[in-house]
Amino acid sequence: MSGASVPGATAERVEVEDLQIRLAGGPDVVDEVSFRVGPGEILGLVGESGSGKTTVALALLGYARRGLRITGGRVRIDGLDLLGLDQAKLRAVRGARVAYVPQDPGAALNPTLRIGHQMHEALLAHPDAATDRDERIAQVLTDARLDPTSGILRKYPHQLSGGQQQRVAIAMAFACRSSVIVLDEPTTGLDVSTQRHVLDTVRQLCSSYGVAAVYVSHDLAVVSGLVSRVAVMYAGRLVELGTTEEVFAAPIHPYTQGLLAAVPSPERAETLIGVPGQPPRPGRRPVGCSFAPRCPKAADPCRQADPPPVELDGRLVRCLRAADAAGDRPRGGRLVAPRVERTGSLVEATGLDAYYGRFQVLHDVELHIAPETCTAVVGESGSGKTTLARCIVGLHSHWSGRLRFEGADLPPGTRKRTKDVLARIQYVFQNPYTSLNPRKTIGQIVGQPLERFGSLAPRERDRRVAEVLGEVSLGPDFSQRYPDQLSGGERQRVAIARALVVEPTLLVCDEVTSALDVSVQAVIVELLRRLQVERQLTMLFITHNLALVRSIAKRAVVLCNGRVVESGSVEEIMEHPVDPYTVGLITDVPKLAQRGGAASEQPAAWQP
């Protein structure tokens, strides 16, 4: 934040002052960003997609992505101004003084080289970092909770799990004993247990070696248990900066309040409140306060004047009405159990075994899904959740045992099933960026199932597409757009609309919120719950986010290594788990440091 000293600063390893980054020949996408990070300290940089988090994080390495230029300010690492260095000197600094841990280690690690070779390369690029490279590699792998004697150095990246790949990336970042580590969403997509191990590794290494870290994330629950200070970004600017305890216990900026209201609670079932509207696209910051178009407390002065940062209660806030908004956070209402329990089973699995080649993934799985309810399937990565879902939908055909839908046996594979059954069981995929055809318009994508399963006339199809787009809160103008013109949340709504257009009985949602911001996640979850009640849908909700389960599902099934270890109501499993594996999962769920008081006792309408 421009011209202001940052509260709580120590002998800093990182000093960012009035950082400005512009589109080439255009407006700024990051402006007036200032913060400091001391040795052993971890700063959380949070906000929605497009807020500028990663752009600022990359600037700490003196780097700007294609189409962007760093046009102002200073970035100092141990007193060295990176923005004044030429490219040769920058290459020498990167890795030696400041290191980077990417979001997707599977894409960052070279798939053609063994792990040992890649770790040696990192040290060879900086020969002064270690006199004995083998000893340093063994040490950082051990620090990252990986056994260097287990043969891991001879493996290729694809032979490691997602958590192991991420810990290798962290070990490589710490190998040269950098002063600063930039971590860009390093736990996105990981299950809660793997995530906890990765976070423990980061915390331990920063403390042991006095490393300053900047942790970029949209997961506020993860940030609250890891970082000492939080910087909240919106539209390329910091809107609130303070200690974790202060910001999470009594947020001041309305945007911070909105983000915290969208975080699901593992302790209680409550409605989730997303921040309404969409953030401005990079370089299109509106006149006045950037958040005013989405802020429920905005007044005319907010739309006319750009608020300067002010110091309030020991933190920096960019809001004209900051003094009136302190601690006033919106909260979701409690969910209460339905009065009438559904009986019977829409879907039954008995003695289900599933295979990939000769490798068995599911073992004697028993599953019963009651009609018009939501059943969650939870477990770590590799536990068999998605395989179970694909067996039910028909996308995986190598299984034995028995699957029944509405009392009739389901044959393996989609080709053996009738059109009616295929239409009545619909699937929403995990990644909204790859599940939509980029060459087709939204109207064509949503209407395609009608062409496959229905016999409607073109005009009637168009009417049906417009109707279902309205149900998922997308206007009629979206029909002519292409996927690349939509945000992640809008794409996921399109995927949901495509599944709903043929009026299914069972909707299978496979990690549909894992790639979304916490605010967009809240909107999608509430959308699914509303549609479930209005359409009397049955849902199978696959997730590794146990906190989210409380806010959407009535029953839960816990999978471990392809076996059902526990099943029952969500309340029973979350509050009184029996199996040690379930206990471990619940223990590992990240929780907000402070939730700011009790939730409203006024019950919201339960939508099972």
Q: What is the DSSP string of 411-477?
A: PSSGGGS-HHHHHHEEEE-S-TTTSS-TTS-HHHHHHHHHHHH----HHHHHHHHHHHHHHTT--GG
> For the chain, which residues score pLDDT lower than 70?
1-11, 189, 325-343, 593-608
Write down the pLDDT at residue 499: 95
Q: Is 453 left (phi over 0), alpha (psi -120 to 50) or beta?
A: alpha
Q: What is the largest CA-CA distance in the chain?
A: 74
Write down the pLDDT at residue 597: 39
| Contact between residue 116 and residue 137 where contact means Cβ atoms under 8 Å apart | yes
As a whole number of angstroms, the distance between CA 566 and CA 559 comes to 8
Which residues are registered as beta bridge partners of 426?
507
| Contact between residue 570 and residue 373 where contact means Cβ atoms under 8 Å apart | no
As a whole number of angstroms, the distance between CA 14 and CA 313 comes to 24
Structural element, H or E, at residue 509: strand 506-510
| Contact between residue 262 and residue 218 where contact means Cβ atoms under 8 Å apart | no
Write down the pLDDT at residue 596: 41
If DSSP codes are grouped into helix, strand and coil, which group holds residue 291? coil
Write down the pLDDT at residue 605: 32
Q: Read off the DSSP letter of residue 292.
A: G
Write down the pLDDT at residue 232: 96
User: What is the residue type of 561?
Assistant: N
Residue labelled with tokens 């900051």: 322
Question: Taking the CA atoms of the chain, what radius of gyration do you get in angstroms?
Answer: 25
Q: Which of 472, 416, 412 is nearest to 445 (CA)?
A: 472
Residue 269 CB neighbours (<10 A) = 25
Write down the pLDDT at residue 1: 62
In angstroms, the Cα distances linking 265 to 546, 572, 575 are 9, 16, 13
What rounded mean pLDDT belongs to the chain? 88
* Token pair belonging to 19: 């950082």
> CB-based burial of residue 418 (10 Å sphere; 0-12 exposed, 13-18 middle, 19+ buried)?
exposed
Write down the pLDDT at residue 339: 40
As a whole number of angstroms, the distance between CA 582 and CA 130 comes to 42
User: What is the residue type of 473?
Assistant: S
Write down the pLDDT at residue 41: 95
